Structure 1
Amino acid sequence: MKAVLGLENGEYIVGNGFGAEGSCTGELVFTTQMSGYMESLTDPSYAGQILMFTYPLIGNYGVDEQNFQSPKVNAHGCVVHEVCKRPAANKPLETFFEENNLLGISGVDTRKLTIKTRIEGSLRAALVTGDNSPEYAVELARAAKPISEIDLLPQVSIKEPYHIKGKGKRIAVIDLGIKKNIAISFRKRGADLHLFPYNAKPSEVEACKPEAIFFTNGPGDPAFATDAVECAKHFMGEIPVLGICMGNQILARAFGAETYKMKFGHRGSNQPVRHKDGSIYITTQNHGFAVDRDTLPSDCGVLFENVNDSSVEGIYSDDLDVYAVQFHPEAFGGPRDTEGPVFDMMYRRIP
């Protein structure tokens, strides 16, 4: 099956389609991880994006559904150099894409395209399978909205509150697109989790009598998460306020700080971060927006920073009992360096 990936700058790449016939649009982004491809494809934070893997062979251990981070693939499309047709175990990625009406393209020089992305920044793109019309693909890419103009939270958040019962500390979770293993990491510590939609009001959250409130990861621009920011403001200084990924950005905005769109973001399982005490960890990351350090108020400090570009990777406030990280400590997929330290610290902060 023919396929073409069109870019908003007029360029295009012809390759081999896999999965279903059709078309999709989104922001083309790349991840440098070598494994955990299904964890990434099912990460709700990739909603609105076409995900490209820089590692040259994807699918060599098939589709491991037990490690899905949500019930479905959230990335709009998948771009690879080569897709493995005979995996060591499980269902082939191509078969899964066919059965679930998903779109992919292989035969792409992903490293060349990654270099282009690093130079020009993330581009709007369109993936068309079953057709190799470059003009059509480029036209679709140019017609797509920039991700900073799309509110993606309603697509990934729960519709109604629900409860994951535990015998430990009671945590209200504002679901902006939570990864499954974040909930699992809290549950390992005995947490009693009450999950709420992205637009939950403080009065709704207070009904569960939380001992802490946690803001999850999520897709797109945190500027759209106005309800979550207001909710964070309400609870700051009252109970511990925690966050991961977009949650870090939400809490920074609750302090009055600004966020900005990065040139091509941080995505992969090899991102080094430095704690304020000088120790360094290797982390999994997936974010295209970041906190503007210069706009943080004096009562909010930088907890972690990225070793490569010094961008903010975590914030904290002892006075207001706030603790958040930009990276993903839940270790799916990626290194386990921070799963223990970060989740233990969050849980210990709850009285």
Structure 2
Amino acid sequence: MKGNLIFEDGTIFEGEVFGYSSETVGEVVFNTGMTGYQEILTDPSYYGQIVVMTYPLIGNYGVNDDDVESLGPKVKGFVVREIYENFSNWRGIETLNDYLIKNKIVGLKDVDTRALTKFLRDKGTMAGKIIIDRKKNDADNEDIKKFNNSRAVDKVTTGYTYTLKPLLPKVAVLDFGIKKNILDSLIKRNIELTIYPANTSPEKILENNPDGIFLSNGPGDPAELTEIIENIKKLIGKKPIFGICLGHQLISLALGGKTTRLKYGHRGTNHPVKDLLKDRVYITSQNHGYVVQEDSLNKEELQITHINLNDGSIEGIRHKNLPLFSVQFHPEASPGPQDTAYLFEEFLKML
């Protein structure tokens, strides 16, 4: 069936429907990774988004049971240039098309993703809608206008507290939409993890006397999570804290900083980041639409540790007096392939 990705300004990108046949509205973003489509689909930070893959051939190694970052896909839609059905990989168990059908995610193929990416780079991230086998109408514009991805963390956080691997030391994890590979990266360093829902009170977390606190990645605008920010303020200085992605942004806000929305975000597996303390450049995996404003940070308390070499934005901070640091990128991912995993070791030493 024919399918179109439409925008409020009248722009239309034509394609063919694959996966689950259903119309959907979401924030349209692009990812520059050549691989990792299953991790992208299941990353909770993509909740509410229609993801466009810039690499033209997707699906060639199929889907397996291992490369997932949560219990299932979190995206609203998936847009590619070409979908490959005859996958070849020893771990592959089904096609990407079958996987999307099973999880009720609509896909759009045969789209000019190069033109679409240029459009998003020029116009900035915006809401769009995938429609099937019909023309755009006024109701579609209303759907796009009304789309709101606020409080996305509430949709992806855990519904209960649970513990993984009873080993030492003990770390309390605040789940804002955590990726499985982050949990795996901590567990393989013999850390006992207790995972808490996003809005858990600081008193509840501290009553179990953890050795440290981890603040996870997650979707949406960090500035609207005012209750969580206030909770983090009460945790700072009580225990060592490490934050990744949204966790990094929330730490910055709790320390008086401000965040701003990027025009089209950082999403991909090839973003160069410089560690200012080590004087080294790393290739990193990233997925975020907001960034910490450098001029909003208290430089007497905080040290900028990492910067993005593409646009100079902040990629990491460390407190000068307290056991606290955070990074914007994903050290648990494998672009380098494990170049920035040293950050987990630094957290372990801090504990």
1:107 is aligned to 2:117: no
Once the two structures are overlaid, the 10-residue window that deviates more, 113-122 or 159-168, is 159-168
Provide the rounded CA distance (Å) in 2 between the counterparts of 1:31 and 1:137. Answer: 29
Q: Which residue of 2 aligns with 1:231?
A: 231
Q: Which residue of 1 aligns with 2:78?
A: 78
1:127 counterpart letter in structure 2: I
2:231 counterpart letter in structure 1: C
Q: Which residue of 1 aligns with 2:12?
A: 12
| Secondary structure in structure 1 of the residue aligned to 2:158 | coil
Provide the rounded CA distance (Å) in 2 between the counterparts of 1:331 and 1:286. Answer: 11
Provide the rounded CA distance (Å) in 1 between the counterparts of 2:108 and 2:146. Answer: 19
1:219 is aligned to 2:219: yes
Alignment of 1:133-144 (within 5 A): 133-135=135-137, 138-139=140-141, 142-144=144-146
1:317 is aligned to 2:319: yes
Provide the rounded CA distance (Å) in 2 between the counterparts of 1:258 and 1:272. Answer: 23
Q: Which residue of 2 aligns with 1:208?
A: 208
CA drift of 1:349 comes to: 0.8
2:220 counterpart letter in structure 1: G
Q: Kindly indicate whether the alpha-carbon contact (under 8 Å) linking 2:23 and 2:130 is maintained by their aligned counterparts in 1.
A: yes
1:308 is aligned to 2:314: no
Provide the rounded CA distance (Å) in 1 between the counterparts of 2:76 and 2:200. Answer: 27
2:313 counterpart letter in structure 1: S
1:347 is aligned to 2:345: no
1:280 is aligned to 2:272: no
CA drift of 1:141 comes to: 5.2
Provide the rounded CA distance (Å) in 2 between the counterparts of 1:93 and 1:182. Answer: 24
Identity of matched residues, %? 38
CA 1:262–1:141: 2 relative to 1, 3 Å: farther
Scaled by the length of structure 2, what TM-score is found? 0.95
2:309 counterpart letter in structure 1: V
Q: Which residue of 1 aligns with 2:100?
A: 97
CA 1:55–1:229: 2 relative to 1, 3 Å: same
Q: Kindly indicate whether the alpha-carbon contact (under 8 Å) linking 1:126 and 1:137 is maintained by their aligned counterparts in 2.
A: no
Provide the rounded CA distance (Å) in 2 between the counterparts of 1:249 and 1:14. Answer: 36
Q: Kindly indicate whether the alpha-carbon contact (under 8 Å) linking 1:237 and 1:319 is maintained by their aligned counterparts in 2.
A: no
CA drift of 1:109 comes to: 0.6
Q: Kindly indicate whether the alpha-carbon contact (under 8 Å) linking 1:6 and 1:127 is maintained by their aligned counterparts in 2.
A: yes
2:106 counterpart letter in structure 1: L
1:249 counterpart letter in structure 2: Q
Indicate the RMSD between aligned Cα atoms, in angstroms. 1.4
Alignment: residue pair count: 346
Provide the rounded CA distance (Å) in 2 between the counterparts of 1:41 and 1:23. Answer: 17
CA 1:169–1:137: 2 relative to 1, 3 Å: farther
Structure 1 unmatched runs, 5+: none
Deviations 1:232-251 (A, max 9, x none): 21121221111000000010
CA drift of 1:8 comes to: 2.1
CA 1:169–1:51: 2 relative to 1, 3 Å: same
CA drift of 1:156 comes to: 0.3
1:336 counterpart letter in structure 2: P
Q: Kindly indicate whether the alpha-carbon contact (under 8 Å) linking 1:7 and 1:141 is maintained by their aligned counterparts in 2.
A: no
Provide the rounded CA distance (Å) in 1 between the counterparts of 2:330 and 2:139. Answer: 33
CA drift of 1:225 comes to: 2.1
Provide the rounded CA distance (Å) in 2 between the counterparts of 1:195 and 1:127. Answer: 35
1:68 is aligned to 2:107: no
Q: Which residue of 1 aligns with 2:128?
A: 125
Runs of 4+ in 1 over 6 A off after TM superposition: none
Provide the rounded CA distance (Å) in 1 between the counterparts of 2:114 and 2:28. Answer: 13
Deviations 1:194-213 (A, max 9, x none): 11111000111012211111
Q: Which residue of 1 aligns with 2:35?
A: 35
Deviations 1:295-327 (A, max 9, x none): 001201111110010101011103121110000
CA 1:264–1:51: 2 relative to 1, 3 Å: same
| Secondary structure in structure 2 of the residue aligned to 1:85 | coil
Provide the rounded CA distance (Å) in 2 between the counterparts of 1:136 and 1:211. Answer: 55
Structure 2 unmatched runs, 5+: none
Provide the rounded CA distance (Å) in 2 between the counterparts of 1:213 and 1:226. Answer: 19
Provide the rounded CA distance (Å) in 1 between the counterparts of 2:156 and 2:148. Answer: 18
Provide the rounded CA distance (Å) in 1 between the counterparts of 2:80 and 2:178. Answer: 26
Q: Kindly indicate whether the alpha-carbon contact (under 8 Å) linking 1:281 and 1:337 is maintained by their aligned counterparts in 2.
A: no
